[in-house]
Structure 1
Amino acid sequence: MTVHRRENHGQRLEHILDAIETLSSAFPSHQFILPIHPNPNVKLKVCQRLSKQSNIILTESLDYPQLVLLLSKAKLILTDSGGIQEEAPTFNVPILVLRYKTERMEGVEKGFAKLVGADTDKIIQESSLILQNAIKTSGANPYGDGKASQRIEKIIRKVFNG
C-alpha cells in the first residue's frame, strides 16, 4: 500500500485508513505493508491509526529493489502512486488506485487497475473480492516490457560504432 498524494490528505486519508483498518481486521492472516511517506500530514495520521494493528507493517520509504520484490510477492496493491501503477502489471498483481482519476488509464483499460478513490466501502469491497478469490491479472504490461534500456544501448552502440 502507498498513499501520499496531496489530493488524499485530510478527510480522504481518514477514509482510506478506515478501509485499511477494516481490511486488516477482516484478513488477519494477511500482512499489509505500508511504506510511510515522510510528509508529516501523512506520516502522523498513518502512524496514529495503523501502528497498533499487528498485521500491518509500517516501514520507511523503500529503495527500488525492495519495492519490486514486494510488488512481485503481493496479492493486491492499494496505491495513489503513478509509478507503482506502471510497475505492478509486470507481476499481474491487481491494483486498486486510491484516486478518482489517473493519468495512467492504460492500466485501467487493460484490466490491471481499478479506480476506487477514497471511498471506504468501495476499497473494502474491491479489496475483499480480490483477497478472497486470489484474483490475478494477466497480459502484457501496457507500460512496456522492461527492456527499454537494452534497446537504447543497442541504438547508441550502432550510432557510435557505425
Structure 2
Amino acid sequence: MNERDDCPAPMPLVESLPFRLGVLGTLVTDQLVARLKSHDLKPKHVGLMTLLSAKAPASQLELARIMGVAPSLIVTLADHLAELGVVQRERDPDDRRRQLLTLSDRGQDLLTECAMASAALDAELTADLTPDETAALRTGLRKLAARTGAPVADG
C-alpha cells in the first residue's frame, strides 16, 4: 500500500478552495478596478491610502514592510497619489533622510468615496446570500486571511 492509497479521492479542481477563491478573486478585483478607474486609482493605491488613514505619518520603508511589497512600489504608488493631491510627503524631523507620508484631506475624502464603491460591490456580491450566510462568509474569509498571514480587519 502506498501513500496515495490512504488519501481520499480528490475533489474536482473547480470545487477546490484555491481554484474557487482564485477565480472569484480575479473577477472581483476586475470589478473593483473598474469602479476605481474614474478616480485614477488601483486597489494597491487604495490599500496604501487605507494604511495612511490608520497609521500616519509613516515612512515609505515602514509602509513597504506592512504591505509586504518592495519599497520601490511604495515610491511609485506615493508618486501617483502625490500627483493626485491625496498624499503629502514631508521629511522626518528626527531623520532627514526619511520621507514621511500623510493622507491629505482630499485623500481622506477620496478614500471615503472608494469605501462607498467597495461597499456597493460588496452588497452586489452578497445580494443572494442571507444575512447569516454573509456573516459566515466574512468569518470564514477572516480566518483564512489570518491563517495565511494576509491583513485581517477587526470585526
Q: TM-score, normalised by structure 1?
A: 0.23
Rg larger in 1 or in 2? Answer: 2
Structure having the higher helix fraction is 2
Structure with the larger RCO, 1 or 2 (CA within 8 Å, 6+ apart): 1
Q: TM-score, normalised by structure 2?
A: 0.24
